[in-house]
Amino acid sequence: MKYYMPVRVFDEKDCVSYHAKDISALGKRALIVTGKKSAAINGSLKDVTDALRQNGTDYWIFSEVEENPSVETVFAARDRFISENIDFVIGIGGGSPMDAAKAIALVLKHPEADLEYLYDKSADPSALPVVCVPTTCGTGSEVTGVSVLTRHDKKTKISMVHRVYPALALIDGKYLKSAPHTLIVNSAVDALSHLYESVLNAKSDDYVRMTAEAGLKLWAECKDVLTGEKQADEQDYEKLMRASAFAGMSIAGSGTSLPHALSYILTYDLLLEHGKAVGYFLPGFMAEAPAIERDELLSLSGFDSIDDFISFINRVLGKQDIAQSELEKTCIAVASNQAKMKSASFEVDEKMLERIVYFRQKNGMP
């Protein structure tokens, strides 16, 4: 076994301000990568720019990252800012800006890089240093080396092969305060799926289970916030963000499994939110998992049974009408990918995959 998680993590209130010197130690010219609005609304962008100004660091802002960022967006940022001699990149937001920041840091380091460079295992994987400031509680991208990008030419999402681990992760629960409840729910379901998939994974080990168990226990303490039975307080926001980070550490060790593999076509074709797309297949995946391990994971995350878990998913994600043709397309795509079929800790054949994909339909789930 080996455990590799080289990210310096600071998890505390106002950590961006407290660690302004750590940020600026990475260079004198920063590129901030974020989405169009949320970073300005939740205060994270101001915190970062204040920290940079405090230490005399010049910065540029690229605020055009879309949900499920495309490779075209990555290269557009590279081409716009390559002449600015950027020293490091700061990703602010959910998984989309943080994943984009990693890829942008790679291609800024390699101005000659083209699309194929992102998927060339023999290419130089070095990148500019990256700082991640998460503002959602789902992806865990702040502690992984993974960058998942939309490939319009292939009509799906694919991870680039190079691992770009952030130099710093600055985690502050206060950025969740202004997030819509639906965003928090979708993000938290994604984090839960990371925790489950990392353990029910062919590459899982004791270190993965260690971080997953920590994440599941924290996640369970916030379940009533997700159902709306409790108004979230500062501690809940902190726990949700921390659970997401533990989930990121877990998948950094083992990777994701079938629910994520199945989700990508729905995300691309239907523009379904990532958490909802993953959550669509999660009940079927858990129903097929070995009972002893599954029930332990469910118990750690606050569920009495698989039925209790399914009821929760129905309640928080609501009705999801997915066309039969989309499910067939998804099933065929994953069935033809042996690496994805072998990603689970238990043997999955095409018949089991079909049961996972059509579980909601066959069990009358909305």
Q: What is the pLDDT of residue 348?
A: 97
pLDDT of residue 319: 87
pLDDT for the residue numbered 215: 98
* pLDDT at 365 (0 to 100): 76
Those residues whose C-beta lies under 8 Å from the C-beta of residue 320, and which sit 6 or more positions away, are 272, 276, 280, 360, 366
15 pLDDT above the threshold of 80: yes
CATH top class, domain 180-362: mainly alpha
Percentage of the residues of the chain whose pLDDT score is greater than 90: 97
Angle in degrees, 0-180, between the axes of helices 95-109 and 71-81, rounded to the nearest 10: 50
Mean pLDDT of 234-241: 98
Distance of CA 346 to the CA centre of its chain: 24
pLDDT digits (tens, 9 = 90+) for 312-366: 999 999 988 899 999 999 999 999 999 999 999 999 999 999 999 999 988 877 6
Residue 248 pLDDT grade (very low, low, confident, very high; cuts 50, 70, 90): very high
Residue 314: predicted pLDDT: 94
pLDDT for the residue numbered 311? 95
Q: What is the pLDDT of residue 343?
A: 97
What is the mean pLDDT of the segment spanning 1-18?
A: 95
Provide the mean pLDDT of the chain.
97
Residues contacting 213, CB < 8 A, separation 6+: 300
CB 282 within 8 A of CB 313: yes
CATH of the domain spanning 8-175, picked from 3.40.80.10, 3.40.50.1970, 3.40.50.300, 3.40.50.620: 3.40.50.1970
Confidence (pLDDT) at 88: 98
What is the reported pLDDT for 227?
97
Query: Is residue 106 within 8 Å of residue 118, measured between CB atoms?
Result: yes
Query: Domain extents for the chain?
Result: 8-175, 180-362
- Model confidence at 38, pLDDT cuts 50, 70, 90, reads very high
Quickly state the pLDDT bin for 9 (edges 50, 70, 90).
very high
- What's the pLDDT score for residue 321? 86
Measure Cα distances from 17 to 84, 104, 165, 172 in Å. 25, 24, 22, 11
pTM: 0.96
pLDDT for the residue numbered 245: 98
Confidence of residue 1 (pLDDT cuts 50, 70, 90): confident
Query: Tell me, what's the pLDDT at 255?
Result: 96
